[in-house]
Amino acid sequence: MLLKIKNGCKDFGGEILFTDLDFEIKSNEKVAVIGRNGCGKTTLLKIINGDCKLDQGQLIIDNNISIGYLSQQAFEDENLTVRESFNEVYRHILDIEKELKKVAERLETEYSEELLAKFASLQHQFECHNGYNYDQQQIMLFTRFGFSIEDLDKKISEFSGGQRTRIGFVRLLLLQPDILLLDEPTNHLDIQTVEWLEGYLQKYPNAIVIVSHDRMFLDKVVSEIYEFEFNKLNHYIGNYSKFVEIKENEFQRQQIAYKNQQAEIDRLEKLIEKFRYKKNKAAFAQSKIKYLEKMTKVERPDKDKRKMKLRFEKNIKGGNTVLIVDQLEIGYDKPLCKIDLQVFSGHKLGVIGPNGLGKSTFLKTIMGLIPPLSGDFMYGHQIEVAYFDQTLAQVSSTKTVLDELWDLYPEYDHTQIRTVLGNFMFTADDVFKTCDVLSGGEKVRLLLCKIMLSKANLLILDEPTNHLDIAGKESLEKALLDYNGTVIFVSHDRYFVNKLANRILYIDGKKTNYYQLNYQEYLEKINNIEYSEKEETKEEKAFDSKTERENKKRAEALEKQITKAEEELENLRALRFEKDYYHDYRKMNELDDEIDDKKNEIIHLMKEWEDCVS
């Protein structure tokens, strides 16, 4: 047991967040904490991290446990380069390396058994701390999060807020704390990076606590779920899909038990009422009364049913051809990519791909917010468009929520506007909040409310699920699936894309691919699972098959080379403990150079092998 909370209680602003909370983290566990926005998930992480205290209860932490918290990774000095910031993580390794150089310099002019022993000891420490590979580790993590090697030498202040968050994430992973606390770790990450992160966290050697609304991510990473509901924290074993199944089964069982008990109580109460005033049956009636008093009551099962109530409709049907994109080249100061496709009525087009390579730019271009660099696009007959902008700039005003919506739709009366806002979970005094103080989730709900009232027949949505909790995502999914209009959307939420998209546009820099497939079919195709398409010719199939065979053959040869090189590397490392070497610093330096060369050879071979099997 690394950490435990017993009977924890916490209120915030006079409102109870949770009571009688029990929570435990054991070594190597991968745990998720889920629940509605504002239920206490982030507060729980802050309590574990020591940034916040329980009002009641105990927090028990093992001695010498290191805790790393993603959202606390603000950089104290943003004038440092990324490399300098990362080097702080490896300070102990760099100190050993510095001492090694000093001893090596002394060995050039003086000789002693004591100095040689110190040199050998320092080298052993350096190797035990992975000193020969730490730079490769930081480069691998940094580039996986979408940065280039050159970015390591840029100042942190030169990066955007989202990029700084990702840099902080890399730094946290390099620290490898005993308990890793991650608050919405997939925000600002594209699908490819999220998929890589899943694999990394699955193999992470220590415990992880994740707050996330990314259902597919939770399915892949965690093995336990803690859910906040009605100010309580309930524990479930399994990933997210298993949690949904268990919770539904528990609800059904409790519903049956409650119904049966209520029927039994009703039967006994009728017996009591029938016999309690009859002299020869009074004792019988009294025994039933005592039985009822001692009965352990089954609680009425309840679900948190607070959800957005949204329904997208369209004023007019519009033409069957919704959008024609003809060799459209998009970008700002330079081209990002060229897109060519047609969108027809009823299509749900999911736009996916790495960050920064054109997805949002494509939406802004077809919305007329950015001029195309070349090519053209044209909307069909009577197409009315509603646009969801992920920057949420439309609701940054100082108007109240009520006025913001009413000014846009003055044809509605006060009661109608309050009813609509109530359906989007703006109740009581919530409607008098000014838009500039709304949370991310509240801004998303207000934007969706505006879009629903527009009754457009084409919805263009840029990351609509950002800041929504799971209940909000489920409401939006259902509404869009029931919508008989057309949707073009950008999203990194694979669960959402998988539910909604029946067409996929993949944008990756200069390359774009349009698939008339749903997301699952798209995955099968790109992963080379057998899928036949009419437009694929026999020649293309034969070429692909030949290339695949050549790559497989080359990969097998490389595996043998890598195995041999790794054996040679181990033999070289073993020489460090031979007297002929650790007594002769010149030989030792030459040996270190050979080891570095061999390691670089292995890295080169591994990169070539990855290219063959990818």
Q: Give the tens place of pLDDT for each residue, 174-221.
A: 888 999 999 999 887 888 889 999 999 999 999 999 999 999 999 999
Instruction: Return the pLDDT at 531.
Output: 44
Q: Which amino acid is at 540?
A: E
User: Can you tell me the mean pLDDT for 416-430?
Assistant: 91
Can you give the pTM of this predicted structure? 0.73
Provide, rounded to the nearest whole percent, the portion of the chain with pLDDT above 70.
93
Provide, rounded to the nearest whole percent, the portion of the chain with pLDDT above 90.
48
Q: Three-state DSSP class for 420?
A: helix
- pLDDT tens readout for residues 234-276: 999 999 999 999 998 988 988 998 899 999 899 888 888 888 8
Q: Is 70 exceeded by the pLDDT of residue 392? A: no
Q: pLDDT class for 537, splitting at 50, 70, 90?
A: very low
Residue 270 contacts by C-beta under 8 Å, 6 or more apart in sequence?
none
Which of 197-206, 301-310, 404-413, 524-533 is the least confident region? Answer: 524-533
- pLDDT tens readout for residues 474-523: 999 999 999 999 999 999 999 999 999 999 999 987 779 999 999 999 99
User: Can you tell me the mean pLDDT for 115-124?
Assistant: 81
Please work out, in degrees rounded to the nearest 5, the angle formed at the alpha carbon of residue 251 by the alpha carbons of 246 and 255. Answer: 150
Q: Is 70 exceeded by the pLDDT of residue 609? A: yes
Distance, CA of 554 to CA of 514 (rounded, Å): 31
Instruction: Return the pLDDT at 534.
Output: 40
Q: Which residue has the higher pLDDT, 176 or 378?
A: 378
Instruction: Return the pLDDT at 584.
Output: 72
- pLDDT tens readout for residues 466-484: 889 999 999 999 999 999 9
Phi-psi label, residue 193: left if phi above 0, alpha if psi -120 to 50, beta otherwise: alpha
Q: What is the mean pLDDT of the chain?
A: 86
Distance, CA of 134 to CA of 136 (rounded, Å): 5
Q: Is 90 exceeded by the pLDDT of residue 15? A: no
Q: Is 70 exceeded by the pLDDT of residue 536? A: no
